[in-house]
Amino acid sequence: MSAAVIESLDHEGRGIAHVDGKAVFIEGALPGERVEYTVLRERPRYAQAETARVLKASAQRVAPRCAHFGTCGGCSMQHLDSSAQAAAKQRILEDALWHIGKVEPQIIHPAIHGPAWGYRYRARLSVRVVPSKGGVLIGFHQKRSSYIADMHACPVLPPAISALVPELHGLIAGLSIADRVPQIEIAVSDTATAFVFRHLLPFSVGDRRALAAFADAHGIQAWTQPGGPDTAAPLHPQGGPGLAYTLPEFDVRMDFRPTDFTQVNVHINRLLIRRAMQLLEPRPGERIADLFCGLGNFSLPIARRGASMVGVEGSEALVERALANAAANGLAARCEFHAANLFEATEDSLAALGPLDKLLIDPPREGAIAVVKAISPLQRPPRIVYVSCNPATLARDAAVLVHEKGYVLRGAGIANMFPQTSHVESVALFECV
């Protein structure tokens, strides 16, 4: 067993040390600590390891709140104080921008904070029947494994939802097709909570009664999903309220289905939209594009500020939802939405959107490399706000914007969308020189 002093954290929340000229990435170790570690995987230039014993603890080390921490792969930073987590993520963002993109923000925006616990309004729990381990297992996947961490509580879920996890074990165990229910998707909204039960065989009449009774007993909606996301349908109650979240600052209500993509953390989402609008500054008379717009999370606040906006999204179903949300909020006259594959964007496809005063980009983890490469020197939006969920692809795309397209990186900062995890959400502002 070896010992090392931890220098920093990597993008997965692992401590980084250098031993005999080789980088060692150590799970469960914090900057400034001296730890003993066990090597999990050895490579010529680096090693992956886990902490065996903390010899000198960081002042920022705290006791993990969850009994499953260390086994469950859902959280990786519960041993680090919540405020220190945000600071670490800011450093991860800045390091990625410099080391990958060779860019530095002129301004570091203050980190966006929210509740450290009970924030996760969306979750996808895996289900497996393993008789040798006591029957039904429900939870997130274990670290570095396809096995399921059998959870009986989860403190990053809202308390009322966490309390239902033990009840789910009994519910699934009593179904006739218990071994054919691989997943339960949970969506908590301002108006209702839905549990979507993915099933590979039809539910029996008794199964459907059990699911309905569970829904009645706990005040949730039970949905079934026999195939892809579009096959999800309410089982009980029929005619219940639709799912929706509100953006009070912009007088907007967003309706959605439980299998639609929405942000996990409703508290941070509201603050992130506020930050994005402060940076974008939408004004009446402007035409602004929202790329990877989803169901209109940023689009409708842009329109509410008086600008005309055009949203582009790869999913036709989400485009339909965005159109419906614009109409329901009285913003249809200032909104248009189109379905297109933005990973294949070209100068011509961007030019087809018409002259743009500003641009907001909110891509998935893969980033928006095709979009930024397609920005024409003759038709550059003067201002771009880029919302990112992956510092590495943001940095890659920032390099194109700054070194090839003539933008400067005015500012960047993180939003702690997923406390207790290493996930880094951020927002950056680019402007033409």
Q: Is 75 within any annotated ligand binding site?
A: yes
Contacts of 43 (CB under 8 A, 6+ apart): none
Distance CA 164, CA 332 (A): 40
Number of H helices, E strands in the chain: 10, 22
Q: What residue ranges in 317-388 does DSSP mark as E strands?
A: 335-339, 358-361, 383-388
Residue 224 DSSP SS3: strand
Distance CA 213, CA 403 (A): 60
Q: Is 335 a catalytic residue?
A: no
Q: Which amino acid would we find at residue 186? A: I
Q: Is 329 within any annotated ligand binding site?
A: no
Q: Is 325 within any annotated ligand binding site?
A: no
Q: Is 268 exposed, middle or buried (0-12, 13-18, 19+ CB in 10 A)?
A: buried
Q: Is 432 within any annotated ligand binding site?
A: no
Q: Is 286 within any annotated ligand binding site?
A: no
Tokens matching residue 144: 């570095």
Residue 77 DSSP SS3: coil
Q: Is 362 within any annotated ligand binding site?
A: yes
Q: Is 85 within any annotated ligand binding site?
A: no
Q: Is 390 within any annotated ligand binding site?
A: no
142: β partners: 72
Distance CA 32, CA 30 (A): 6
Q: Is 293 within any annotated ligand binding site?
A: no
Q: Is 297 within any annotated ligand binding site?
A: yes
Distance CA 361, CA 270 (A): 17
Phi, psi torsion values for 56, nearest 5 degrees: -140, 115
28: region left, alpha or beta (phi > 0 left; psi from -120 to 50 alpha): left
Residue 142 DSSP SS3: strand
CB 354 within 8 A of CB 287: yes
Dihedral angle of Cα 199, 204, 207, 209, to the nearest 10 degrees:
130
Q: Which of 293, 335, 389, 432 is catalytic?
A: 389
For the annotated binding site for [4Fe-4S] cluster, the residues are 66, 72, 75, 154
For the annotated binding site, the residues are 66, 72, 75, 154, 263, 292, 297, 313, 341, 362
Which sequence positions are flagged as catalytic? 389
For the annotated binding site for S-adenosyl-L-methionine, the residues are 263, 292, 297, 313, 341, 362
